[in-house]
Structures are given as structure tokens and as C-alpha cells.
Structure 1
Amino acid sequence: MKKLLFFLPLLLSTNLFAQEHAWVYLKDKPSEATYIASPLTMLSQRALDRRTKQGISLDNKDVPIEASYYNQIKSATGITVLGKSKWLNAIHVIGQINDINNLNTSFTFIDRIDFANRSLNAKGTVNFKKQKQVLNNHKSKFQSGKPTYNYGDATNQIEMLGGDFLHENGYTGAGIHIAVIDAGFPNVNTLGAFSGLRKNNQILGGYDFVNRSTNFYTGNSHGTHVLSDIAAYKENDFIGTAPDASFYLFRTEDAASETPLEETLWVEAAERSDSLGVDIINTSLGYTTFDNSNYNYSYSDMNGETTFITRGAEIGSSRGMLLVTSAGNSGNSPWKYISAPADANSVFTVGAVNSVETIASFSSYGPTADGRVKPDVLGQGQNVYIVNYISGSNALSNGTSFSSPVMTGVIACFWQAFPNKTNMEIMDIVRKSADRYSNPTDQYGYGVPDFEAAFNVTLSADEFELDGFSIFPNPAGDNLTINIANSNIQDYRILIYNILGKEVLKFHNTQTNVINVSSLNGGIYLLSLSNGNSKKVIKLIKR
């Protein structure tokens, strides 16, 4: 019996190698009107709320693949269905070349078929290959209230970005939902570093797309290490960049192989994330080569519109999610460039620096093949700390695999501070705060962002000037004096919000210019004074 278990994988591998991967694209979605009329059959209320907040309408891409089409292809001779994407209206199949080509003549609802081996496609047909980037510095395929925190070993990687400023002002990722799409999450359900997540129900769910299993605490340890940089909490020893965020954990990467299917599984996970109302996706994976070299990508394919995963990522961003991904670890290799989906225009691509903000030599280069600046920004990815998935102790590692989640967590905290910003606005603000924004380079991109500066600039930009209005003292004690020098202001309202955006005090046309704020706890608040269509927002500090 043991002998059979040794030989069976070899036989399966030989059989699959003789088959080809292909994407079957469908012409339409006959049930579109029915689904669009009933949005909750496609998306959760949280997902719909995210769309509403960002002014994004439902469209054809939100509609599931037509079930009858899927079932007919699944039943076709010689065809095995491995995955599907509603966003791209495509079904991922494997089979003999003739059997796959026969689908075109058998079914009128097929628009086109793209083989992963582009030499098998008709001239001019778009197709996808993959070369998986080494996204750890060693040879692997992954990219790799007002509290005062003692970050322990994580101090430098957090303070470099100004994440400590956001934390100290109460922004720790609370209310932000993050999906981590990776290669596995072993021991996240047992390690002490994640006990807070488990106790506070911050792990909202997950799925193993590789095995089609609800047990996502399996697979390669890479995902556990990535998650630790965002979510781990070991008091006075190690703290992630967004310890109060909530998480979905999705496994799409099979560490034992390199096949085009992993791109499709990633898109499936991104679609699941969208439907659940996820705000941010972290992807510490990248693709440029496969086990079968016929599927390999070239640099010219890193143009933001060729690979399956990149096109899926673009659609994910158009749904209002903010996608953060590793640039890649090929800076020292002949390839040298970023990988997919890091080439996507609307994805936030993160390269790596060391502890003193010098570029890590392994950090992949831009620009994209069509000349756009990539990476977008940089975080610490050389000698960066993670939590080891076996021992639970802190360990040094290298790779853009880890600069990406470090950045993801700080972005989550920043978006918590400015929840009404769109995903595109958040990315633009962060880019502009980076130290090389005015002079980006191929490997540095726009450089290392400063989230404290971004916070202050954004807060100021969100203030609408109302002439003749001021408050003092600020910081305030029990009483606050409102000075309204403009005699034209006859009807006004004052609202005070806490850092979570909850209204805590309200005053309307007070008879005195002194208001009592003694009921407020010490901390940072936003005070809004409005008069008709004009208003001013001021940061109020309560002692």
C-alpha cells in the first residue's frame, strides 16, 4: 500500500503534463438582469455599502457565470474544470488540445479560448503565462484609545512609516477588513502571537482554494509569516501594523508546484473578498514562470493588461478594494523586473528597503513594460522581523513578501482615520507623502511614505474654511471657547466626533461662546462647525 502511495503522484503528474491549461471565455450572462435586480444574491451588505460609499455601481462583472454554460463545459468530453472567474467571465480547464479546441465548435456561447501556452492560440489572441517570482530573498516563490506601544523587534519597520503615530492617535485598523491571499496559514489557530485575533473574533473566515477545503490553517508557512507582520500581538515583544483589523485568510498558492491555475484561484479569492465586503487585500505572491516553461511570461507581458491575475486585480480595484502587493525579489537576477500582479495600474506595489531606508538589492525594478512607475512605495523588507510559525518566536527574514504586509497594515490604519476616502484617493495620498515622489526611480519608485505627514496634510485638506472662526485653548481642558468674529454667522452648529467618527457632543446656536467639554476623555477629536453649506473641521485635543 505504501508503494502505491509513492507511485501514484508520479502517474498523475505525467498525465497532467500531457494536458494543457486554458481559459474558456464566455460571450454573455443571460441571467444578468435578474441578479442586478437582487444585489444581495451576489454581494454582502457590507460589500454594497463599500460600493455606495465610493460611488461604484453594480455591473455585469458582478454577475455569476451562467450555471448552464459552466455545467455543459464541465460535462464535455476530455475536459476537467479547475476554476472560474465571474469578473473575467472565464472558466479554467485542462484537457488535450483537440478536446479543448472542440469546445469552440460544440458550444455557441463561447467567445474565445486562450491556452496558457500561447503558441497554441490563434494569431492575435491574448493569453497568459506565468513565471513565479522569488519573493523571499532565499529561493522560494513568494513575495515575500491612545495607547503607547512597545513594539519590541517590530519597532523599526513600524516607525519607519509613521505607523506609530497612527497607533498613538487611536488608529490601529479597527473596523477594516483585510484579506490575506497566500500559500497557507499553519498554526495561526494555535500560536500565541495570534491569540488576540482568535479571542476577539478578528479572523472572520477563510478558505483553501487549492484543496477546495474550509480548513485554511494548512499549506505553506509563508502566509502565517506574512500575517504576523500585520496582525501579530505579543506585548512588549512584537506588534503588527494593524493589530485591531479583522481578517479573511485565503490559500490560493500551492508551494509544491507552479501552474497557471494559481492565477485563477487568486482571482477566485479576490472575488470572494469583494463579495464579503473586504476593504484591503494583501498579496505577497508574484508570477513570471511556471513548471512548464511554455507558460512563462516575458517582461513585455508586465504591461498591466496581459496576465490573468493582473486583469483580475484591476477589476478588484474597480470594485473599491485597495490591493497591496509585493514587487518581487528579482533585483539581483537577470529578470530584475516586477512580476504580476504588481504590474497592475491600480494595484499598490511595494518594494523593499533595509532598516536605514537603503534599497534592498533584491527588490525588483520597474517600470512596467508600458512605462509606468513601479514600485509605488517602499517598506522594510530586508532584515524585517516576522513571527516564526513553529516556535512563535521573532525571526529575521528578507523579501518584499514582508514589506507588503507591513505597508498593508499601516494603510489600514490610515484608511480608518479617513474612512470617506476612496481606495484610489488613499493610494494617491500615500504616494505623495513618499520621500522620492518628485523624482521616482526604477527601483525606489516613489520611495518611503510618511504616514504622519500624510495624516496631517489630509486632515488640513479636509477642512473647509469658514472665515472668522477659531477655538481656544487647544489642547482644551474642561471648557472650550468658540470665537466667531464673522457677524454674518447667525445660525451654526458644532459637532464633536471621536477618532472612530462617532458623534460625542453637539451644540446648536449656543447662547455663550464657552462650551463644556469636560465629559470627553483625553485624546484627539474632530470639531466641526457648520453654517449653511459652509463648514470648518478642526482637530481638537482634549487634555
Structure 2
Amino acid sequence: MKKTCCILFVSMLFAGTLFAGNPLYRYRVMLADKQATTYSLSKPQEFLSQKALERRERQGLAVDSTDLPVSSAYLSRLEAEGVKVVGTSRWNNTALVETADTACMERVEALPFVTGVLKVWTSPDSIPPRDANRKKQVNPFRQEFKDYYGPAQNQVEMIEADKLHQAGFRGQGMTVAVIDGGFLNADAIPLLQNVKIEGTRNFVHPGWDVYAELDHGMSVLSCMAANHPYTLVGTAPEASYWLFCSEDPDCECLAEEDYWAQAVEYADSVGVDVVNTSLGYYAFDDRSRNYRYRDLDGRTSLMTRSASMAADKGMIVVCSAGNSGDKQWKKITPPADADHVLTVGAVDARGMNTTFSSVGYTADGRVKPDVMARGGHTALIRPNGRVSAANGTSFSAPVLCGGVACLWQACPQLTAKEIMELVRRSGDRFECPDNIFGYGIPSLWKAYLNANR
């Protein structure tokens, strides 16, 4: 969705000039094959963790050629033409390269193993510095409420995740990745200090602190991971989390899809079970690259293709439908059009659809959104550490995502695709889906009972 996240900037008088001089450009380079790779399918432990391999083995999923890393010989040839390789996608067999000299891209495109190139990013004039005093805004005061889940009681009960919790399924042993724009102050907010963080990674600015970027991902995380009874408890309070940045706060560009693909592939490689992404794109700074309704076909967007492939690797992707329901676009935003993902729209506390929640169907007639969860006045944590509320499918997605992690914990014998279908079938509109509610509000407890008949 178009950025609605908040970031704190110091005075523009002190803005950085990271790209002073000639602009830099990034291109997506499509490669023909992996024939020159030094890796082998007979030794998958060289590029996938043991946890990732065990997840696939449980689901009967083989490692295939799409898992092999991009050919290092090809990457060396690209760099010999004067570009810098800044990222790769093994699933899509692409490289993301950077150069200040656009003329060298003609030489790159002429290489025999290159099938195409696409400009996906132009450097901004400057990037404002991140707030060095960000932690000072955190208020350690702890609020208390009458309900166990705090103000999240309704959103947890709506999908009956509370019943899974009462049965002992609170996310233990499950690993969730959050792919977002930043996790401002998540390392300093007292209500998040007991969250089990496995690691962090910034795919937009490698090496940069994810806790100093946008606050959006932190609020998303809190919908699942918060674990302070009578203040705020999320839908997967005992899961473990990876935090990844793929959203560029300084532009709206196709390269964000490349960063996202890198993030979901990394999530696969470290053994993540469930991915939440509350991001989506249909309009870019380069308007000629904007998506059209006919592009919502599950195949056009790189991000969409990657999201759909995740299930083939044994992961569940839960994504936001988008917040364009009351805008000119109205439709879901990629990757919400992907096959084999759970696309989540937003309802209010009464279960009524919110006006902003993006609608389906996909261009090829599939039901989207898949299901709904509370995204109207969703309880969450703000970057000052206080419990508050916000609107958006950005928050209905993690509310459901945490519950799905608990459901999978309760039903470890099922595959990723089986869990997703179980969730759809538990929707209160499963018999009569539409383009607004999809299959409706799911009952995760009903899904659990159905799986264990």
C-alpha cells in the first residue's frame, strides 16, 4: 500500500547528501539459467539451514533448481561490465545491480546468459538521517486494562485465537518473519522486551539498524508478539520472530519488490514457518511502471510470484489486502493477488467491513481477499511505547498471522497449503464468498477442531 507509515526526521537542514553528484541506478537483471552454479541439489545444507530442510521434509517438499543460489560465475561477469551486484533472487534467478553509468547496461544486456534488464531504482538527491535520539520518545509508563488481552481482547476473540491459547497453543516453537519498513524503537519499548527476536536484516540499506527505520513494522509486530497480560497480548505471544526491512522510506520504486524477494528467500533459508507482510505496491514514482487491474493475475508482479512460491517451500505468507477500498484504485495491491497466500482484509469491532479495505477479485477471477480480521481501530503499540489503536489492513494481517502460527503449532501434521485452506474453510462466508469479505472472518478454533476430527 502507499506509505502511511510514520518516521521521525531531524531538521532537513541536516539532511544527508548520500547521493551527491551523479545519480545511481539499480537494474533487475534476468538470468537465463543456473548452469554455472557451484552449488548442488545433493548438498542443500550449503545454502539452506537444517531448520529449513526439516520444515520441507515434514511437508514432503523436495529441494529443486529454484533453490540453488544464482551463479557466482554470472555475477562476476556482470561486475566485469562495470556494475555492482547488490542483491540476488534465487527463486526468480535475477540479480539486482547498481551503476552510475547507464551505458554499461547495454553491455550487460548483450551478455549471452542475460534475458532482460529493467531499471527499478534511481537514487534520491539525498537521504535524511535517522533520528539519533529516537529512544528518548519512549515512555516507560505501563497501562493496565480490565481484560486479559488489554484492548486487543476483541480482535483476538473475533478469530477465536484465544481458544487456541487456552488449549496451550501460543506460538511456542513457531518462527514468524515480519517483512516491513522498519521497527522503530522495538529494541527500547518495555512492552516488547520479552519478545523472542531471532535476528534482523535490512535489505534496503544493508547493515543499517532496523530499529531506527519506520515505525510501521514495530506496530505490526506488536499485534502478534506483545505478551503483557492486562496491558496488551498479541495473537502469537510465544513465537519467535525475524525482523526484515524491505520498504524504502525514501522512494516508491520497483526495487522494493526485489528487496522483498530477497527477504522472503532469506526467511526460507533460516527456517521461518510463517511470514507476515503488510506491504503492497501498485503505484510508483515512475508512473509508467504502475500496475493495472489486469496485472492482478498472480503472475505479473515479482513480489507476487515470490509470495506464491513461498508455499512451495513450505512457508505460509499472510499479507494485507491494501487500504484502497475508498480510493480511486479500490483493488487489492500486489502481492495480495498471489496464489497460495492468505490475503487479509479489515473489519471493525462489530465484524463489519471497513470502507478502506481493498477489494477483489483478481484479474483471473480468484476470490480475494481470502479472509478478514480486525483492522478498524486495531490495538497495537506506538513508537513511544504506549498502547494505542490504528486503522489498516496492515494490522488485520498480523492479527490473523499470529493466530495462524498458533493453529499450525496445534496441527503440525499439516502442510502450509493445507493450513491455509483450513483457515479459508473456517470463514463465516465460506459457502458464499464475495470480493469484499472473501471467505469471511475465520474461526481458528473451528479450523483446529476440523483438523482433529
Q: Same fold (TM over 0.5)?
A: yes
Deviation of 1:32 (Å): 5.0
Between the aligned partners of 1:372 and 1:195, the Cα distance in structure 2 is 41
Matched residue SS, 2:324 = coil
Q: Which moved more, 1:28-37 or 1:401-410?
A: 28-37
Between the aligned partners of 2:19 and 2:58, the Cα distance in structure 1 is 52
Tell me the equivalent position of 2:331. 337
1:61 partnered with 2:61: no
Tell me the equivalent position of 2:243. 249
Deviation of 1:98 (Å): 4.3
**Cα deviation per residue 1:130-178 (whole Å; 9 max; x = unaligned)?**
xxxxxxxxxxxxxxxxxxx811111000000001100000000000000
Ranked by relative contact order (alpha carbons within 8 Å, sequence separation 6 or more), the top structure is 2
Matched residue SS, 1:287 = coil
1:92 partnered with 2:96: yes
1:435 partnered with 2:439: no
Tell me the equivalent position of 2:51. 46
**Preserved CA contact (<8 Å) 2:81 2:107:** no
Write the letter of the residue equivalent to 1:27.
Answer: A
**Cα deviation per residue 1:246-288 (whole Å; 9 max; x = unaligned)?**
0000011122211111110111011110000100000000010
Matched residue SS, 1:36 = coil
Tell me the equivalent position of 1:395. 388
Q: 1:305 aligns with which of 296, 299, 309?
A: 299
1:8 partnered with 2:8: no
* TM-score using structure 2 length: 0.88
* TM-score using structure 1 length: 0.74
Tell me the equivalent position of 2:141. none
Percent identity reads: 40
Tell me the equivalent position of 1:515. none
1:108 partnered with 2:102: no
Matched residue SS, 1:396 = strand
Tell me the equivalent position of 1:356. 350
Between the aligned partners of 1:116 and 1:195, the Cα distance in structure 2 is 37
Matched residue SS, 2:344 = strand
Tell me the equivalent position of 1:521. none
Write the letter of the residue equivalent to 1:104.
Answer: E
Between the aligned partners of 2:13 and 2:214, the Cα distance in structure 1 is 25
Between the aligned partners of 2:185 and 2:102, the Cα distance in structure 1 is 41
Between the aligned partners of 1:9 and 1:211, the Cα distance in structure 2 is 12
Between the aligned partners of 1:419 and 1:225, the Cα distance in structure 2 is 28
Matched residue SS, 1:93 = strand
For structure 2, which runs of at least 5 residues remain unmatched after alignment?
Answer: 1-10, 122-146
Q: 2:365 aligns with which of 363, 371, 384?
A: 371
Deviation of 1:9 (Å): 5.4
Deviation of 1:216 (Å): 2.5
Deviation of 1:377 (Å): 0.2
Deviation of 1:57 (Å): 0.5
How many residue pairs get aligned? The number is: 417
Deviation of 1:228 (Å): 0.2
For structure 1, which runs of at least 5 residues remain unmatched after alignment?
Answer: 118-148, 461-543
**Cα deviation per residue 1:482-504 (whole Å; 9 max; x = unaligned)?**
xxxxxxxxxxxxxxxxxxxxxxx
Q: 2:399 aligns with which of 401, 406, 409?
A: 406
Q: Which moved more, 1:82-91 or 1:318-327?
A: 82-91
**Preserved CA contact (<8 Å) 1:35 1:42:** no
Instruction: Quickly say closer, same or farther: Cα 1:396–1:29, change in 2 above 3 A.
Output: same
**Preserved CA contact (<8 Å) 2:224 2:236:** yes
Matched residue SS, 2:210 = coil
1:419 partnered with 2:419: no
Instruction: Quickly say closer, same or farther: Cα 1:379–1:76, change in 2 above 3 A.
Output: same
**Preserved CA contact (<8 Å) 1:429 1:454:** yes
**Cα deviation per residue 1:466-521 (whole Å; 9 max; x = unaligned)?**
xxxxxxxxxxxxxxxxxxxxxxxxxxxxxxxxxxxxxxxxxxxxxxxxxxxxxxxx
Matched residue SS, 1:316 = helix
Q: 2:161 aligns with which of 151, 160, 163?
A: 163
Write the letter of the residue equivalent to 1:385.
Answer: A
Deviation of 1:27 (Å): 1.8
Matched residue SS, 1:266 = helix
**Cα deviation per residue 1:204-224 (whole Å; 9 max; x = unaligned)?**
111111110163322000000
RMSD of the alignment, in Å? 2.0
Tell me the equivalent position of 2:289. 295
